[in-house]
Amino acid sequence: MNKTVLGVLASGRGSNLQSIIAAIENGRIKARIGVVITDKPDAGALVRAREAGIPAVCIDRRQCTGREDFEEKLVEALKEAGVTLVVLAGFMRILSPYFVREFKDHIMNIHPSLLPAFSGAHAHRDVLAYGVKVSGCTIHFVDEGMDSGPIILQDTVPVLPGDQEETLAARVLEKEHQLYPRAIELYVNGCLQVDGRHVTIKE
């Protein structure tokens, strides 16, 4: 059987990338990362990838003529690396239907709230403003909408009195680092069956 090749897209510090690297290194995820791509030259994810000996490139959005050009370059780099599953790990850009079609059903994303609640770029701020008592994180397949694809896994954390964005984010992040490797492991082992909005886990 051919090994799954992951292509990880990130914009920032890359702690989720690190949790995926760790799960590959300890043998839990039987896949390799073919390439890490960032859209920002100073993304910590680039450093983490290089330290782990993983090919890493920055495709700087500001150097591209537009979104189409940017996404074509992304697709080219992912295909060149033989990527079969695209993993969005803190990638702060919305991908167009063109990109989604290129890797249809083979793109995962992590979002730091219990979707469909609090989608968008400011989940923790919105959670605190609304006053909910429970938050969490969601791993989902990516479709053509924003944070709207079929849900693979979710986990919860309490929202505590006095929470600030930073304290809530840190509590959720601990769960993210467990949940993303688990979702990828399930995918790699062929345990995820998608039927419309519903993802069934067959172990």
Q: What is the bridge-based pairing of β-strands 192-195 and 31-38?
A: unpaired
In angstroms, rounded to a whole number, what is the distance separating the alpha carbons of residues 16 and 8?
A: 10
Ramachandran sector of residue 190 (left: φ over 0; alpha: ψ -120 to 50; beta: rest): left
Q: Which of 7, 34, 90, 149 binds ligand GRF (CB under 6 A)?
A: 90
Structure tokens at 53: 């000996």
In angstroms, rounded to a whole number, what is the distance separating the alpha carbons of residues 59 and 73?
A: 7
36 with 13: CB under 8 angstroms? no
Quickly list DSSP for 109-142: EEESS-TTTT-STTHHHHHHHHT-SEEEEEEEE-
Taking the complex as a whole, how short is the minimal distance between the CB of residue 61 and ligand GRF, in angstroms?
17
Query: CA dist 32 to 24, 25, 146, Å?
Result: 7, 9, 27
Q: What are phi and psi of 62, to 5 degrees?
A: -70, -20
Site for ligand GRF in 161-190 (CB under 6 A): 173, 176
Catalytic residues: 111
Q: Which residue lies nearer to ligand GRF by CB, 47 or 160?
A: 47
Q: Which of 35, 99, 108, 112 binds ligand GRF (CB under 6 A)?
A: 112
Q: What is the bridge-based pairing of β-strands 85-88 and 151-158?
A: unpaired
Residue 95 interacting with ligand GRF (CB under 6 A): no
Residue 108 interacting with ligand GRF (CB under 6 A): no
Q: Which of 74, 108, 110, 186 binds ligand GRF (CB under 6 A)?
A: 110
The residue range among 1-9, 64-72, 104-112, 190-198 that interacts with ligand GRF, by the rule CB under 6 A, is 104-112
Q: Which of 24, 29, 46, 89 binds ligand GRF (CB under 6 A)?
A: 89
The residue range among 10-18, 31-39, 69-77, 184-192 that interacts with ligand GRF, by the rule CB under 6 A, is 10-18
Q: Which of 16, 38, 84, 135 binds ligand GRF (CB under 6 A)?
A: 16
Q: Which of 15, 119, 154, 167 binds ligand GRF (CB under 6 A)?
A: 15
Residues in touch with ligand GRF (CB under 6 A)? 10, 12-16, 89-90, 110-112, 173, 176
